[in-house]
Amino acid sequence: MSTGIRICILTSSHSPFDGRIFHRHAKCLAKAGYDTTIIVPHTADEVVDGVRIKAVPKSTSRFKRLLITPFYVFKAAIREEADIYHFHDPELILFGLLLKLLGKRVVYDVHEYYKLNYMTRRPSSSFLRYLFAYIFDFLETRVSRLYDGVVAVDRMIESKFKGMAVTVSNYPYRPGNSVRINARVGEFKCVYAGGLNADRGLFKMIEAMEHVDRPARLILLGSISDEYRRKSEKMKGYEKVEILGHRSWEEVQERLQECDLGLVLLQPVPAYFYAGEGTVKLFEYMGAALPVLGSNFPNLERIINEAGCGTTVDPTDPVEIARKIIAFAEDPINAKRMGENGRRAVMEKYNWETESKNLLGLYNRILAGQSKSTHMALKGGPHEV
C-alpha cells in the first residue's frame, strides 16, 4: 500500500542495480510503500521491482564523473520534488547542501571512511593527498550537521559523526533453502566478489594460487581496469585464475553457490584496516554457507571468530594464504561446519530483514519531524518490512 511519500535516491558513480543502493535500500523503501526513484547514470528510464530508475547521461571519463555527472543528477533531482533526498556519493555532498538550502529533507549515506581512502590514492603526491583528505573530512563533518540524517555503513564510520549517524550495514537477505553446489569432486574453488585492485588483494590472491599445490581455481568477480588485467595475466599463478569481471548481483549469488571458499584479503591500507560490518562480500559468503578466509584486521577477525565461520591470515603473505587455502581443501568436514556457522549467523543476526529496521526507523523519524539526534536505538515504525 502506497504512503504517497516520494523518496529520491541519488548516485553519480554507482551502477543502477548496486547491491546497497538498489537491492537493499531502494527495494526495501518501495516494499514499505514509499514512491521510490533512483537517479543514476544509465542508458534509459525503467521500472524494476517497484523502483523507478531515472537515467542521466553516463560519463566517459573520471573527470566527467566527478565534475559533470553530479550536475546532471542534481538537475534531475530538483524536478522530482521528493519528500526526502538520499544521496550516496561524496562528490554530491555540496549538492546535498544546495537541496537543504532549497528547503528539502536530505540524507547522506556514507559508504567509506573517505578521509582514509583519499590518503592512499594515486597519483597525487603524499602532501596533496593528505591535504585533500583533511579538507574533505573537515567539510564532510561540518556540512553533514545540516542534513536531516546520516547513514553509515559500519560502526567505525558512525563513530566519526559523533551522534549524527545511524549504522545501516550491508548485510545480505536471509538465504533461502537452496543447497550449495559442492565443487570438491574436482578443483577446489576460491572466490572473491568485489572491485579488483591491489588494495583489495588482487595480486596477493593470484600470487597465492602459485603456491597451492593441488587442483584449485580462483574465481574473480568484479570490475577490473585494463592495466590490472594485463598485470594479472603476466603472473605465474594466473593459470589457476578466472577473471569474470563485473557481473550482476543475481549472477554473483549464483556463482557463490558453486564455490568452496570465500576470500576477503583486503590489504593493510588506512581505508580497509578497520573494515567490518560494511564489508558486504563477507556476509554474502556467509549467507551462501561459504567458509571465509579473511584479513587478520581487528573488526574482520572479530566478526569471523564470533560467528565461527572461517579463519584469518596476514593478507600480505601469499605463501601463508596458500597454506590456509590448502588447509580448507584438506578438511572439508571442518570447512562445511564453518560454512554452516556463517549461514546460521546471517539467519539470526547479520541479515537485511533485521538491519532494514534501522533505515526505516530513520525515515520515520525524519518524516515525523523529530529531533536530529540519531544515536538512540532506531527501530522501524509502521513501515517495517
The region of weakest confidence among 69-73, 207-211, 282-286, 374-378 is 374-378
Establish if 250 belongs to a structural domain.
yes
Sheet with 188-193, side-by-side order of all strands: 241-245, 216-221, 188-193, 261-264, 292-295, 310-313
pLDDT at 116: 78
Establish if 179 belongs to a structural domain.
no
Three-class secondary structure of residue 277 per DSSP: coil
343 and 363 together in one domain: no
pLDDT at 121: 64
pLDDT at 308: 98
Establish if 178 belongs to a structural domain.
no
pLDDT at 381: 40
Span 357-366, mean pLDDT?
96
In degrees to the nearest 10, what's the CA dihedral of 336, 342, 343, 349? Answer: 160
pLDDT band at 371 (very low <50, low <70, confident <90, very high): very low
Q: How far is CA 198 from the centre of its chain?
A: 17
pLDDT band at 24 (very low <50, low <70, confident <90, very high): very high
Establish if 183 belongs to a structural domain.
no
196 and 166 together in one domain: no
Integer Cα distance of 168 and 151 in angstroms? 6
232 and 106 together in one domain: no
Integer Cα distance of 358 and 228 in angstroms? 38
241 and 282 together in one domain: yes
pLDDT at 373: 42
CA distances from 336 to 38, 224, 289, 291, 332 (A): 39, 31, 8, 7, 6
340 and 193 together in one domain: yes
More confident residue, 225 or 177: 225
CATH code, domain with 194: 3.40.50.2000
- Give the model confidence (pLDDT) of 74-110 as tens digits: 999 999 999 999 999 999 999 999 999 999 999 999 9
Which residues, other chains included, contact 303 with Cβ-Cβ below 8 Å and sequence gap of 6+? Answer: 276, 277, 282
Integer Cα distance of 46 and 33 in angstroms? 19
126 and 37 together in one domain: yes
Establish if 177 belongs to a structural domain.
no
Q: What percent of the chain has pLDDT over 70?
A: 92
Number of structural domains found in the chain: 2
Cell of 324: 590456509
Mean model confidence pLDDT for the chain: 90
pLDDT at 380: 42
337 and 356 together in one domain: no
What is the Cβ-side half-sphere exposure of residue 135, based on CA atoms within 13 angstroms? Answer: 6
- Give the model confidence (pLDDT) of 324-333 as tens digits: 999 999 999 9
More confident residue, 342 or 113: 342
Establish if 374 belongs to a structural domain.
no
pLDDT at 16: 94
Sheet with 84-87, side-by-side order of all strands: 46-48, 51-56, 35-41, 6-10, 84-87, 105-110, 149-152, 165-167
User: Pairing state of beta strands 84-87 and 105-110?
Assistant: parallel
- Give the model confidence (pLDDT) of 231-261 as tens digits: 999 999 999 999 999 998 889 989 999 999 9
Establish if 16 belongs to a structural domain.
yes
276 and 302 together in one domain: yes
pTM: 0.83
The region of weakest confidence among 64-68, 124-128, 222-226, 356-360 is 124-128
Cell of 41: 547514470
322 and 357 together in one domain: no
**Domain of residue 272, residue span:** 188-348
What are φ and ψ of residue 226, in 5° steps?
A: -60, -40
40 and 132 together in one domain: yes
- Report which of 102, 122, 70 is spatially closest to residue 269, judged by C-alpha positions: 122
Check residue 268 and report its DSSP letter. S
Check residue 154 and report its DSSP letter. S
pLDDT at 315: 98
pLDDT at 124: 53
328 and 357 together in one domain: no
Check residue 224 and report its DSSP letter. B
- Give the model confidence (pLDDT) of 148-188 as tens digits: 999 999 888 998 898 899 999 989 888 876 555 554 567 99
Establish if 382 belongs to a structural domain.
no
265 and 323 together in one domain: yes
Angle at 118 between CA 278 and CA 94, to 5 degrees: 85
